[in-house]
Structure 1
Amino acid sequence: MKVAVLGAGAMGCLFGAAFHRAGAQVTLVDVNRGHIDAINADGLEVDLRSGVERLPIAAALPNALTDKVDLVVVFTKTFHTQAALEGISAVIGEHTHLLSLQNGLGNDKRLAGFVSDERVLVGASMLPSDMVGPGRIRSHGEGYSKLYPAFGKDTSFALEVCETLTSGGLETVLDPKIHEVIWSKAIFNATMNPLCALTRRTPGFLGANPESRATIRAAVAEGIATAHANGVMLDGQPIYDLTEVSMTDHADHEPSMLQDLHAGRRTEVDALNGAIVAAAKAKGVAAPVLETLGNLVKLEEAKLADAAR
């Protein structure tokens, strides 16, 4: 299998490493030249609980790609999806599948404009991963990944992807209720990411304080009510359970929104809190906690923009 991982950040590299271990021909694609150069010079360093490995994976800037691939795994920020896929159009052929493992809602529709509907896959991963430096990532924690065709019913290629990732060390399964899984992850992220970003602390800090625990429960409850109002009848308890895992097993993990604010970057709050709150308002559901968390993150982004002027 020829695989291009579009967006070779912490999660993209984690999945690229799994495809590589399983024998796939992998190219990590990113616009960060220093990161790409480090991988090509010394390999990708992956720090796991089981030990540190250095993998000889190819890495490239988008405009360097020319050969068609079987699969593009999209890990870019949601607001970069359109431009990022346009930038690697040379690798997307008539048999290429696209898989979004991005945060937030609506990623299936963003991919649908680039390939036929039956070649769009969507998924969600609850694995932690942090960027340590150029060419170096760390993933210390357990998790799982699920995926499924976004619109079609033919699961043959999706199953091959699951088997490849599992063979490479990342357990991945097919889940026909993938849209419930995506909503669940979006609710989780819209709760935990802003709280970590706003406090500038990792999940372990949230678990040690009753104020954050109360806010977490209220935010998750709003997300569940919104999903149900929109016909997504997910079970809410696994989301509460996942917040507990985050505050214990992933206590020192820096969520992506916290990483973004530390780096002075725009966050994905619009695809998380913004999307859920919009869905809530469309159905007359109140989501004041999720909306407030989202608004506060937007203010943090505005502060960064002011400082950059």
Structure 2
Amino acid sequence: MRIGVWGGGALGLLWAARLAALYSETVLVTRTRKQADAVRSEGIRVIGLDGKARRMPVQAVESDRVTASFDVIMLMVKQRDFTSAFYQALSVCAQDGVIVCWQNGVGHDAVVKKTRHTQPVYGAVTTEGAWREDMTTVRHTGAGQTWIGPLLGKQEDHPALLRSLIAQVDHRWCPVVLEADIQPRIWKKLMINSVINPLTALLEVENGELFRLPDARALIRAALEEGVAVVRAMGYRWEADDVFHEVAEVCEKTATNRSSMYQDLMRGHMTEVDWINGGIVKEGKARGIQTPIHETLMRLVHAKEAINRR
């Protein structure tokens, strides 16, 4: 099976190493030639939860030089890069292939809807944590589970090659579940990210620190109440207390993880806040629901982005 892992961030490195151990034709597709050269030369070094480092040889190529045809593409780029990467991925995905989108937040499904494609497009949600230490090294910082399902609409029957891949990964590496409808998972992950990501980024703390700060806990609960009001208007019958407990559990399981938004700000990059908190704000406006806390978090993150660009 020919697999393309598109994106050399933390999860991209982690999954490229995992899949290369199962499928020798796995290729990591990077944004820069520098990273592709480094991976080709050194492989990917994975530091596991046990602290032990393992190096896996992995093929790599920069995105503007991709010519192979892939059976499965794991599209693991940031939301800001999604549109161009998705069109590129479509051009090198086999006619009977599958594209799996791993983006945080919401909005990428709207891009997919506007695109003419024959290949099935899936969405993925994970609670695993990872931290990219350098171009070829990733530290696995939190165990978790992954769910994969059709991005647009519900579907009970799934492509055989995707079922085979997921069975292999589930058996060898981590729990993976195929879902008929991934949208509830996407929105639940967005709800969790909407408090963990901006607060860890603004406070510059690891995930586990949030629930040791009383004021942060209070802000998490208030923001979740806002978000739950929005998703209940969308038809999801969730309770703020339940989601609060899920956030606490994720923070505990990924206590040493630095959220992707925190990592972006550390590196001086633009964040995905417009697709996370901004997704809640946009949906709230469409339904006449005020979301001042999420708007404030979004503005504060943008302010910190501006400071980092100076």
* One-letter amino acid matched to 1:194: P
Of 232, 235, 239, which aligns to 2:236?
232
Are 1:287 and 2:291 an aligned pair? Answer: yes
Deviation at 1:255, TM superposition (A): 0.5
> Who is 1:19 aligned against?
19
Taking a change above 3 Å as real, the CA distance of residues 166 and 301 of structure 1, as seen in their structure-2 partners, is same
Partners of 1:167 and 1:298 in 2: CA distance: 41
Deviation at 1:100, TM superposition (A): 0.6
Contact 1:42 1:56 in 2 (8 A): yes
Residue-pair matches, total: 306
Deviation at 1:299, TM superposition (A): 1.2
Q: How big is each residue's C-alpha offset from its partner over 1:5-42, in whole Å with a ceiling of 9 and x where there is no partner?
A: 11121011112222223235211111133332221111
SS in 2 for 1:60: strand
Of 179, 182, 189, which aligns to 1:185?
189
Deviation at 1:238, TM superposition (A): 5.3
Taking a change above 3 Å as real, the CA distance of residues 124 and 184 of structure 1, as seen in their structure-2 partners, is same
Taking a change above 3 Å as real, the CA distance of residues 71 and 172 of structure 1, as seen in their structure-2 partners, is same
SS in 2 for 1:122: strand
> Who is 1:38 aligned against?
38
* Aligned-CA RMSD value: 2.0
Taking a change above 3 Å as real, the CA distance of residues 238 and 33 of structure 1, as seen in their structure-2 partners, is farther
Deviation at 1:202, TM superposition (A): 1.2
Which stretch has the larger CA shift, 159-168 or 134-143? 159-168
Give 5+ residue unaligned stretches, structure 1: none
Contact 1:108 1:121 in 2 (8 A): no
Give 5+ residue unaligned stretches, structure 2: none
SS in 1 for 2:276: helix
> Who is 1:254 aligned against?
258
* One-letter amino acid matched to 1:170: C
Taking a change above 3 Å as real, the CA distance of residues 300 and 284 of structure 1, as seen in their structure-2 partners, is same
Partners of 2:29 and 2:235 in 1: CA distance: 36
> Who is 2:272 aligned against?
268
Partners of 1:287 and 1:24 in 2: CA distance: 48
Partners of 1:135 and 1:270 in 2: CA distance: 28
> Who is 2:249 aligned against?
245
Which stretch has the larger CA shift, 197-206 or 87-96? 87-96
1:31-110 pair list within 5 angstroms: 31-50=31-50, 51-88=52-89, 90-110=91-111
> Who is 2:139 aligned against?
138
Contact 2:207 2:254 in 1 (8 A): yes
SS in 1 for 2:70: coil
Deviation at 1:266, TM superposition (A): 0.4
Contact 1:98 1:115 in 2 (8 A): no
Q: How big is each residue's C-alpha offset from its partner over 1:92-131, in whole Å with a ceiling of 9 and x where there is no partner?
A: 2322211111101122232345563660111201100000
Partners of 2:154 and 2:169 in 1: CA distance: 21
Q: How big is each residue's C-alpha offset from its partner over 1:279-307, in whole Å with a ceiling of 9 and x where there is no partner?
A: 011111222211111111111122233x0
Taking a change above 3 Å as real, the CA distance of residues 108 and 164 of structure 1, as seen in their structure-2 partners, is farther
* One-letter amino acid matched to 1:156: P
Q: How big is each residue's C-alpha offset from its partner over 1:214-238, in whole Å with a ceiling of 9 and x where there is no partner?
A: 1111112221221111123346555
* One-letter amino acid matched to 2:103: Q
Partners of 2:38 and 2:273 in 1: CA distance: 30
Partners of 1:177 and 1:133 in 2: CA distance: 35
Taking a change above 3 Å as real, the CA distance of residues 117 and 212 of structure 1, as seen in their structure-2 partners, is farther
Deviation at 1:152, TM superposition (A): 5.4
1:211-226 pair list within 5 angstroms: 211-226=215-230
What TM-score does the superposition give when structure 2 sets the normalisation length?
Answer: 0.92
* One-letter amino acid matched to 1:155: H
Partners of 2:20 and 2:53 in 1: CA distance: 15
* One-letter amino acid matched to 1:135: T
Taking a change above 3 Å as real, the CA distance of residues 300 and 43 of structure 1, as seen in their structure-2 partners, is same
SS in 1 for 2:226: helix
Q: How big is each residue's C-alpha offset from its partner over 1:195-215, in whole Å with a ceiling of 9 and x where there is no partner?
A: 011111112221211000011
SS in 2 for 1:186: helix
> Who is 1:169 aligned against?
173
Are 1:2 and 2:2 an aligned pair? Answer: yes
* One-letter amino acid matched to 2:133: V
SS in 1 for 2:256: coil
Superposed structure 1 runs of 4+ greater than 6 Å apart:
none
Partners of 1:134 and 1:228 in 2: CA distance: 41
